[in-house]
Structure formats: structure tokens, C-alpha cells
Amino acid sequence: MPLVAPSLLASDFLHLGDACKLVNESEADWFHLDVMDGRFVPNISYGIPVIEHIRSVARKPCDVHLMIEEPEKLTPAFKKAGADMLIVHLETCRNLHSNIQQIRSLGMKPAVAINPHTPVELLKDILFDLHHVLIMTVNPGFGGQSFIPHSLEKVRELRKMITKTGKEILIEVDGGITLENAASLVEAGADILVAGSSIFQAKDPAQVIHLLKNS
Ligand code: DX5
Ligand code: ZN
């Protein structure tokens, strides 16, 4: 059974407390929190003070996805805000190994995200240091985009690489995840499904979470 991590990016920001309550009371496993800086991605979402508020009511682990340049500068601040898991993008980190060490030394679980154009092979020498890998299944920056079908192949390839390491490293997929494509992603080897619009734009978000858990 996959883990489900609702992305609050698609929720009603005027009623963030309601979205947190919904996730707390649902079968969801983690909160997925998207941070954008307007530089690495062409959009700005929310940042540290908002995450602090979400963390104060969240009863599940917070998976914080940094779509920002120079994430090492703000890593301690995200720890302070309550991040349990911190995801940095391979494309923004010139010293990725030291970023991962920094995240671990602060007591968070480290993860690396890769964009649609980035081959999974580039993870080879960092893989065993990670708690999970996030495969972007859309271009980062916006919710509500369509799933890129080639991502399935990347999930399969990464699953093989992980099996070779003999370690338990989770695969997370993020972007355009729906009830239609979730099962094929799980079958390809995905462990964590991030979903924004398909959950928060549904009439019954808790039911969509339930169905995603059972895909
Ligand atoms: C996109 C974010 C995603 C986004 C997913 O840059 O990383 O987490 O919220 O939204 P949906 O599920 O609507 O594609
Ligand atoms: Zn995300």
C-alpha cells in the first residue's frame, strides 16, 4: 500500500487550518509542503512562517519540498520550522553530498528531487545516503499540470537501481497524480504518491485519499 502525501499547494489558503484538519483526519500519511522561490521555478508559494503554523497543528510528518536556489542557506530555518523530511533538487545543488549531510546532521530525513529532464542515473553516487527520491512527474512550479508519461519509465529504472543497493530507499512521485495513473505508478515501483489538485479539488477529498491509498 503506497503512502499518500497531500500537497497543500492546491488547498484554499484562506482556510489552511481546514486543509490541515482534513489531512489529519484522513488516511493520508504525510503532509507535502511546496516551497518556491521565483528563481529556481517561475513561481512563489509560501515559506517558513506558514510552515511553522502548519507544523503546529499537523499530526503527521511534514515532507518539505524545496524548489529554491541555495537551499543550504535556509536548511537550519526549515528544521526550526518543523520539517521532518527535507527535499532538495539535484539541479540546484553544486555540493549535493554536503547538502544531504547538513540535512541529516540537523536531524531531518534527506531526499533529492529530480526534474523531468534529469536522468535517474545521476543519483547513483548519492542514492544510499537518501531516505527517499522524488521524481517530478511534471515541471516544478505549479499545481494542476498533466502527468508526463515518460516518468513511469524513470520510476522503473530507479526501482532497479535501489534494489541493487540492497537498501530501503523510497520513491516519491509528484505532479499530475490522479486516480487514473496512481496504480500504474505503484506497479512501476512508487512508494509515495503526492497529490494536490486531485485531492483538494475533489468533492470528497478524504475519499480520494482513501482511493489513492488503495491503488
Ligand atoms: C509542483 C509541486 C507539487 C504540486 C502537485 O511543483 O511540487 O507538489 O503541488 O500538484 P498537482 O497534484 O496538482 O499536480
Ligand atoms: Zn512537491
Residue 175, Ramachandran bin (φ over 0: left; ψ between -120 and 50: alpha; else beta)? left
Closest approach atom of ligand 1 to CA 113: 7
pLDDT digits (tens, 9 = 90+) for 147-196: 999 999 999 999 999 999 999 999 999 999 999 999 999 999 999 999 99
Ligand 1 centre to CA of 100 (Å) is 23
How confident is the model over 24-41, as a mean pLDDT?
A: 98
Q: Give yes or no for a contact between 48 and 78, defined as CB atoms under 8 angstroms apart.
A: yes
Per-residue pLDDT reduced to its tens digit, 90-128? 999 999 999 999 999 999 999 999 999 999 999 999 999
Is 83 in contact with 103 (CB distance < 8 Å)? no
Query: How far, in Å, is the centroid of ligand 2 from the Cα of 65?
Result: 5
So what's the pLDDT on residue 114?
98
Predicted confidence at residue 155, as pLDDT, reads: 98
Q: Residue 120 is which amino acid? A: V
Tell me the domains of the chain and their CATH numbers.
3-213 (3.20.20.70)
Q: How many CA atoms lie within 13 A of 47 on its CB side?
A: 10
**Beta carbon of 141 within 6 Å of any ligand 1 atom:** yes
**Which residues, in sequence order, are bridge partners of residue 34?**
65
- Residue from 133, 138, 192 to probe ligand 1 pocket by mutation (most atoms less than 8 Å from CB): 138
Q: What is the pLDDT of residue 5?
A: 99
Residue 16: its pLDDT value, please? 98
Q: What is the position in ligand 1's atom list of the atom closest to the CA of 145?
A: 14
Show the 3-state SS of the chain: CCEEEEEHHHCCHHHHHHHHHHHHHCCCCCEEEEEEECCCCCCECCCHHHHHHHHHHCCCCEEEEEECCCHHHCHHHHHHHCCCEEEEEHHHCCCHHHHHHHHHHCCCEEEEEECCCCCHHHHCCCHHHCCEEEEECCCCCCCCCCCCCCHHHHHHHHHHHHHHHCCCCEEEEECCCCCCCHHHHHHHCCCEEEECHHHHCCCCHHHHHHHHHCC
**Residue 186: which residues within 8 A CB-CB, separation 6 or more?**
2, 193, 215
Q: pLDDT of 126-142, one tens digit each?
A: 999 999 999 999 999 99
Would you say the pTM of this structure is higher than 0.85?
Answer: yes
Residue 121's nearest CA partner among 169, 167, 158, 164 is: 158
pLDDT of residue 156: 98
- What pLDDT score was predicted for residue 94? 97
| Cα separation values, 192 from 32, 66, 77, 108, 180, Å | 11, 17, 25, 18, 16
Report percent pLDDT > 90 for the chain.
Answer: 100
Distance from residue 161's CA to the centre of ligand 2 (Å): 23
The catalytic residue positions are: 34, 174
